[in-house]
Chain A
Amino acid sequence: MLAIEYFEVECPEPLGAAYYKQITNVVLLDHNLLRVIHKLHIFIDPKVPIFIAVGMLKKITTRVRVGDFANVNPLEGKITLVISDETYLAPMLKIFWQKFGKDHVEQPDRFTVILYDIRVDPKEIEEIIVADPSESLYKDLIYAFRLIAPEGFRLRSEIFSNEKFSFVASENILPENLDTIIRNKFALMGEVP
């Protein structure tokens, strides 16, 4: 858990807290979300029952560009791209089709894309933004916390902003003083919501 500066699970049952710390760790690791969370405080009270997760997010500006996963080689009027990672191949092709037209784009095999008769600087092609993983970040985080929270907690309140988030779930009606509780949990991390 080196990537997270603050990570606590608070629960009246110490053994339950230890199990949930392990579950949280496994789920966040599996979903590759440890890199985006800066601080995380989880509070579970099975007596109420309620599950609260509050935390701080890291700023991530890792937009994926063509140059990150492909070598762009101009040669005799055509530009050959050698792909090293297929993950973003589909969105890249879509952008190329839109920009240059299907007649100018050819993919002879899985790892090669050839652009014909285009007058663009190879440097420009390298700079084309293909995907932005942070777009689906909130969706992924909410999904991960739904997995971490005990099952059956179907009443939820989620607030996700650029830097901070809170996720509350319960099987009963959420308490009226929810804002105060969330503020207190943020205070434990030395933050304000």
Chain B
Amino acid sequence: MTLVPVTYKGGIYQHDIIIDLIEDLGGYIVQKHIIAAEVVLQCFVPRDDIELIRRIAKPLFGEVTDSPLVGTEIAIVSMSLEIHHLPHPSCDIAEYVRRIGAKSNMVSLARGPGKRIAGLNDEERDVINEHDIAVYLMGNFETCIEYKMPTLLRGIDVPVIVCGGPDKEILKKIIDPPVDGYVGNVGRFMHRTKESDELEKLDEIVAEITSVLEKKREAIAKDPLSVSPARLMDLIMEQVPAIRDVTSPTPLTVQMAGLRVKLPYDTFAADLRKIEIEDKITLGDVCNVVPSRMRDYILVKILPFSETNTVI
């Protein structure tokens, strides 16, 4: 059964029918938002059953759309938290990818701005590496991007997409070591993105992220994960009641090959490891449970089949 990421949008009336249906079909709901009288569900559903969900949702005026970014956590790396980069373009981009299902976090560097003085410290590096992909938002000058990119990429092992003011071809030429994706003509600007050509640029960033993540998905498919992250999310939700008291919008953040659990590591790591998934196989057997560099959260990294010899 292949699970595909989709977004369901519909009225609040009888939306529990859809939730039950998705759960009965073996799908998982990653995030549920209720905005006024509208419900947005970001979920994984079996590929063959999408039509069935569409059919049942039709009388409720619900619609199901593909959202390839559901179940991914994206780091939007902004050079600083100064007004030079915020709220435009950093927040514009972070918010745009959020609309199509991704969980985006803004990572702002302590010493990101400038040319010679730009740097990346170990905490920033580790936090970026905890994500599925990092989107670097650079400035307008190719000289600066060329100069500081090697420093900012040091130690980063997740796929990186660089957005910058120069054209895409120039970015490809000047960035060394090469990164996974480039989006040109999106540098520093100080106005809201609302014109159609600016929105097209945001779509281009999303397309670039999607294509890079698709490659990552293919790589994961070659050596599949021992357990699906969405399934782990459901199990933790059932067996660790404390997660229900977390006030964060996503107490459990699903990643492509893991999960961020927003509970203190020292108190809950042992409990998490003991969770039984199936046939006496515990979470600790198929995952590495490590402390996250983000606050005192827990990071669950799911091991691939080649290491555990089990797929459940």
Check if A152 sits within 8 Å of B189, measured CB to CB: no
Check if B114 sits within 8 Å of A152, measured CB to CB: yes
A171 touching B143 in the complex, CB below 8 Å, given contacts A15-B165, A19-B188, A26-B190: no
Which one of B38-46, B69-77, B81-89, B270-278 contacts A? Answer: B81-89
B187: interface (CB < 8 Å): yes
Task: Tell me the total A-B contact number using a CB cutoff of 8 A.
Answer: 70
A23 touching B166 in the complex, CB below 8 Å, given contacts A15-B140, A46-B143: no
Give Cα distance in the complex from A147 to B144, angstroms: 18
Within 8 A of B (CB), among A138-156: 147, 150-153
Mask of B15-39 contacts with A, CB within 8 angstroms, 1/0: 0000000000000000000000000
B205: interface (CB < 8 Å): no
Write the chain A residue with the least CB distance to B116: A171
Residue of A23, A153, A172 near B189 (CB, 8 A) is A23
Give Cα distance in the complex from A150 to B187, angstroms: 12
Check if B190 sits within 8 Å of A27, measured CB to CB: yes
Contacts of B193 in A (CB 8 A): none
A43: interface (CB < 8 Å): no
Contacts of B188 in A (CB 8 A): 19, 23, 150
A167: interface (CB < 8 Å): no
Write the chain B residue with the least CB distance to A29: B191
Give Cα distance in the complex from A186 to B114, angstroms: 26
A152 touching B115 in the complex, CB below 8 Å, given contacts A15-B166, A16-B165: yes
Within 8 A of A (CB), among B104-159: 113-118, 139-144
Residue of B83, B139, B143, B187 near A147 (CB, 8 A) is B83
Check if A49 sits within 8 Å of B115, measured CB to CB: yes
A22 touching B189 in the complex, CB below 8 Å, given contacts A147-B84, A151-B82, A152-B117: yes
Give Cα distance in the complex from A48 to B189, angstroms: 22
Check if B143 sits within 8 Å of A13, measured CB to CB: yes
B225: interface (CB < 8 Å): no
**A side interface size, CB within 8 A:** 21
Mask of A32-45 contacts with B, CB within 8 angstroms, 1/0: 00000000000010
Give the dominant DSSP class at B's interface. Answer: loop
**B side interface size, CB within 8 A:** 26
A47: interface (CB < 8 Å): yes
Give Cα distance in the complex from A117 to B242, angstroms: 69
Check if B144 sits within 8 Å of A151, measured CB to CB: no
Give Cα distance in the complex from A153 to B188, angstroms: 15
Residue of B80, B143, B165, B167 near A47 (CB, 8 A) is B143
Residue of B79, B143, B189 near A151 (CB, 8 A) is B79
Contacts of A172 in B (CB 8 A): 116
Q: Could you tell me the distance in whole angstroms from the C-beta of A138 to the nearest C-beta in chain B?
A: 20
Contacts of B139 in A (CB 8 A): 150-151
Check if A171 sits within 8 Å of B80, measured CB to CB: no
A7: interface (CB < 8 Å): no
A165: interface (CB < 8 Å): no
Give Cα distance in the complex from A44 to B241, angstroms: 57
Check if B165 sits within 8 Å of A23, measured CB to CB: no
Give Cα distance in the complex from A6 to B188, angstroms: 24
Q: Could you tell me the distance in whole angstroms from the C-beta of A90 to the nearest C-beta in chain B?
A: 26
Write the chain A residue with the least CB distance to B141: A46
Contacts of A152 in B (CB 8 A): 80, 113-115, 117-118
Contacts of A151 in B (CB 8 A): 79-80, 82, 84-85, 113-114, 139
Contacts of B79 in A (CB 8 A): 151
Give Cα distance in the complex from A26 to B141, angstroms: 19
- List A residues at the B interface (Cβ < 8 Å): 13, 15-16, 19-20, 22-23, 26-27, 30, 44, 46-47, 49, 147, 150-153, 171-172
Question: Given A13-B166, A15-B140, 4 other A-B contacts at CB below 8 A?
Answer: A23-B190, A150-B141, A150-B188, A151-B114
16 residue pairs bridging A and B, Cβ less than 8 Å apart: A13-B141, A13-B142, A15-B140, A16-B140, A16-B142, A23-B189, A30-B190, A44-B141, A46-B115, A150-B141, A150-B188, A151-B82, A151-B84, A152-B80, A152-B118, A153-B114
- List B residues at the A interface (Cβ < 8 Å): 79-80, 82-85, 113-118, 139-144, 165-167, 187-191
Q: Across the A-B interface, give the 6 residue pairs with the lowest CB-CB distance, nearest first.
A: A152-B114, A152-B113, A151-B113, A46-B141, A46-B143, A151-B84
